Chain A
Amino acid sequence: MTILISTLGQMAFLALLIATGYLLVRLAAVPSSTAKALSKLENNLFVPALMLGTFMQSFTRESFRTSGLFFLAGSIAMLLSLLIATLLSRLFTKDAYLQRIYCYCLGFPNSGFMGNAVMLAMFPGIFMEYLIFTLPQQILTHAFGVPCLLMPKEAQDTTQTRWQRFKHRARPFFNPMLIAMLVGMLIGILNLPLPGFFKSTVNTLGDCMSPVAMLLTGMIIADIDLGGALSNLKSYLISAIRLLAIPLATLMALLLIDMPQPLRICIVCALSMPLGLNSIVIPRAFDLDTTDAAGMILISHLFSCATIPLVFAIFNLI
C-alpha cells in the first residue's frame, strides 16, 4: 500500500506539471515556438547535464563491472519489446504507415523523459543503473526507430552512397547525451577533482530535466485535437497493451527468472511507461498525419497516472 500511495503522489506531481504545460499553451501564455525551444534545451542541455552529473558522482570501477549486465538486459528487453510491437502492429492495421507508427508506439516507451522523472523520484539510488539499462533503447531509437519507423522513406536520400548513409545513421550517436554519459563515466572512474561551482552548475541544470520534460509533454499534448484523439478506439487498445499487458507479462516473466532487485526495478519501470513522444514530434516535422499517434499519446499519458502506481504495487506484492 505504501508504494501505491507514494507512486500515486509522484504521478500526481508529474500530472500537475503536464497540466501546467498544457494550460500555458491553451491560455497562450507562451509563444507557439516554446515546445520546440524546450525540446532542444532538454536534449542538448538538461538531459546531458543530468547524465553527466549522475555518472560523475556514481560511476566507479565497481559499477563499471555490473553495468554490463544492465546493458545486456536492456538490449534483450528492447529487442523483445520491438518483436512484440512488430507482430501486434501487423494485427491492428494493414496500412503500412500506421503499422510503423503502432510499432514505434508499442516498441519504444517514454522511458526517457517520463521514465527518468519517475526513477529519479522513486528510486534515486539506482538511477545510474537505469540510465545504462535504457541506453540500448536510446541507441535503437536513433539507429532504427526514428529513421525507419517515423521518418518518411523519401526523407532518406536514396542517391547517397553506402558510406554516406552509414555516416548519416551514425551521426545521431554523437549527440550531447551519449557524449555526456561517456565524459561522466571517465570523470567518475578517474575520480577527477572538479571545482564546486562546476558540480553545482551540472546538478542544477540536471534538476531542470524532469519539470521541463513534463511541461514539454503538456505542451505537445495541448496541440492535439482532443475530440478526434479520444474517439479512436484503437488508441485505447494500444494504450492498454502498452500500459497493462506488457508490464503484467513482464511481471510474470520476472517471477520465473532470478535476477538482482535493481535490475527488476529498471525493467518494470522502463516497460510500464506510456508511449514515447517522438511518435508525434517526428512525423509532425514531416507534415505526416499524427491523429492516431496523438490519440495514443494523450490516452496513454492520462491513464499512466493510474497504471504506473498499480504496476509498482503489484510488483511490490509479488
Chain B
Amino acid sequence: MNVFLPTLNQMGFLLLLIAIGYLLVRLRAIPDDTTKALSKLENNLFIPALVLGTFMQKFTVSNFKTSGLYLLVGLITALCCVPIALLCCRLFIKDPYNQKICAYGLAFSNFGFMGNTVVQALFPEIFMEYLVFTLPLWAVAYCWGVPALLIPREEGSSLSLKARLKPLLNPMFVATILGMILGLISPPIPSFVSSTVNTLGNCMSPIAMLLTGMTVAKIDFKKILRIPFIYLITLIKLLFFPALGLVLFLLVDVPQGIAVCTMCVLAMPTGLSNIVIPSGYGMDTSVASGLALISHVLSCATIPVVFMLFQSIVA
C-alpha cells in the first residue's frame, strides 16, 4: 500500500495536466500550432536540459562503472520487447499498416515524457540510472523503430545506415554525453548556469503532459473508440508487458534499481511518436491516436496497481 497511494496521487497530477492540455485546445485558448512549437521546445530544450542537469549533478566515476549494467539491461529490454510486440500484432491485427503502428506502440512505450515524469517524482534517487537505462531504447527506436514501422516503406527502406544513425546526433544525446563529461570531471560551474539548466529541466514534465493532452484533443473520439483491437493492444501494453516483467523478476534476482527501471518502461502507456511521425507524412493516425488516448487514461489506474504488485511481490 506504501507505493500505491503516492503513485495514484502522482498519476492524478499527471492526468490533471493532460486534461488541462486537452481543455486548452478544445476551448481554443491557444493557437493551432502550439503542439508543434511545444514539441520542438520539449525535444530541443527541456529534455536536454533535464538530462544535462541530472548527469552534471550525479554522474561520477563510481556511477560510470554501474551504468554499463543499466545500459545492457536496457538494450536487452528493447530487444525482447520488439519481437513480442511484432508477434502480438501479427496475431491480432490483419492490416499491415495497423500492425506496424501497434507494434511500435507496444515495443516503445512513452518511457520518455511519461516515464521520466513518473520516475522523477516517485524514484528520484535512480532518475539518472533510468536515463541511462532508456538510452538503448531511444537508439533502437530512432535507428529501427521509426524508419521500419512509422515512415512509409518506400522512404524508410531506402534510408542508408548513415541516415538511420543521424537522428542519434540529437540535442538529448549531445546533452547526455556533455552531462557525463561535466559530471566526471566536475569543473566549477557558475551557480546561475546550473540554476538555468535545472529550471529549464523542471519544465519538462508539465510541458510534456500538456503536450500529451493537446495531442489527444485532436482525436476524433467517435471514430477511434469503435476500433476493437485498440482495447486489446492497450491491455497487452498495460497489463501483459508489466506482468511479464513481474514474473521475470520473481525468477531472476536483479538489483532493485534495474528492476524498477524495467518495470517503469514496461508499465508506461504507448508513446506519441506513432501519431506525430505518420501525421507528418499525411498517413492515417486514428489507430495510434486511439492507442494513445485509451492507454494514457487507463494507465492512471494500471501504473499504481503494477507498482503496488511489484512492491508486494518482488521488492
A200 and B13 contact, CB distance less than 8 A: yes
Q: Which residues of B have CB within 8 Å of A224?
A: none
B203 interface hit (Cβ, 8 Å):
yes
A45 and B24 contact, CB distance less than 8 A: yes
A195 interface hit (Cβ, 8 Å):
yes
A44 and B30 contact, CB distance less than 8 A: yes
A248 interface hit (Cβ, 8 Å):
no
Nearest to B194 among chain A residues (CB) is A13
Q: Which residues of A have CB within 8 Å of B207?
A: 208
Chain A 184-196 against B: per-residue CB contact (8 Å), 1 yes, 0 no?
Answer: 0000000000011
| Interface locus among B32-40, B101-109, B257-265, B277-285 | B32-40
- Interface size class, chain A: 35 or more
A40 and B40 contact, CB distance less than 8 A: no
A63 interface hit (Cβ, 8 Å):
no
Which B residues from 178 to 231 make CB contacts under 8 A with A?
190-193, 195-196, 199-200, 202-203, 205-207, 210
Question: CB within 8 A of A9: which of B20, B34, B191, B199?
Answer: B191
Complex-state Cα separation, A30 to B33, whole angstroms: 12
Q: Which residues of B have CB within 8 Å of A31?
A: 33, 36-37, 40
Chain A 171-208 against B: per-residue CB contact (8 Å), 1 yes, 0 no?
Answer: 00000100000000000000000011110110011011
Complex-state Cα separation, A215 to B37, whole angstroms: 13
Min CB–CB distance A193 → chain B (angstroms): 15
A24 interface hit (Cβ, 8 Å):
yes
B17 and A195 contact, CB distance less than 8 A: no
Complex-state Cα separation, A207 to B37, whole angstroms: 20
A40 and B37 contact, CB distance less than 8 A: no
B312 interface hit (Cβ, 8 Å):
no
Q: Which residues of A have CB within 8 Å of B206?
A: 204-205, 207-208
Using known A-B contacts A12-B192, A204-B205, determine if residue A33 contacts B44 with beta carbons closer than 8 Å.
Answer: no
Q: Which residues of A have CB within 8 Å of B205?
A: 204
A20 and B37 contact, CB distance less than 8 A: no
Question: CB within 8 A of A20: which of B12, B30, B200?
Answer: B200
A156 interface hit (Cβ, 8 Å):
no
Nearest to B171 among chain A residues (CB) is A29
Secondary structure dominating the interface of B: helix
B9 and A13 contact, CB distance less than 8 A: no
B16 and A37 contact, CB distance less than 8 A: no
Q: Which residues of B have CB within 8 Å of A195?
A: 12
Chain A 1-28 against B: per-residue CB contact (8 Å), 1 yes, 0 no?
Answer: 0000000011011001100100010000
A128 interface hit (Cβ, 8 Å):
no
Question: CB within 8 A of B30: which of A16, A24, A41, A200?
Answer: A41
Question: CB within 8 A of A37: which of B9, B12, B33, B193?
Answer: B33
Q: Which residues of A have CB within 8 Å of B252?
A: none
Question: CB within 8 A of A33: which of B36, B192, B202?
Answer: B36
Q: Which residues of B have CB within 8 Å of A278?
A: none
Nearest to B12 among chain A residues (CB) is A197
**Residue among B17, B192, B207 with max Cβ neighbours from chain A (10 Å):** B192
B29 and A201 contact, CB distance less than 8 A: no
B31 interface hit (Cβ, 8 Å):
yes
B41 interface hit (Cβ, 8 Å):
yes
What are 29 A-B contacts with C-beta separation under 8 Å? A13-B192, A17-B199, A17-B200, A24-B41, A24-B45, A29-B45, A30-B37, A30-B40, A30-B41, A31-B40, A33-B31, A33-B36, A40-B29, A40-B30, A40-B31, A41-B34, A41-B38, A44-B29, A45-B24, A176-B29, A197-B9, A201-B13, A204-B13, A205-B17, A208-B203, A208-B207, A211-B200, A211-B202, A215-B41
Extra contacts, 20 of them, besides A9-B191, A200-B9 (Cβ < 8 A), are A17-B196, A20-B200, A24-B41, A29-B40, A29-B44, A29-B45, A30-B44, A31-B40, A36-B31, A38-B41, A41-B210, A45-B20, A45-B210, A197-B9, A197-B10, A197-B16, A201-B17, A208-B203, A208-B206, A210-B199
Lowest 7 A-B CB distances belong to which pairs? A197-B12, A34-B37, A37-B34, A197-B13, A12-B192, A37-B37, A13-B192
Interface residues of A (CB under 8 A from B): 9-10, 12-13, 16-17, 20, 24, 29-31, 33-34, 36-38, 40-41, 44-45, 176, 195-198, 200-201, 204-205, 207-208, 210-212, 215
Interface residues of B (CB under 8 A from A): 9-10, 12-13, 16-17, 20, 24, 29-31, 33-34, 36-38, 40-41, 44-45, 190-193, 195-196, 199-200, 202-203, 205-207, 210
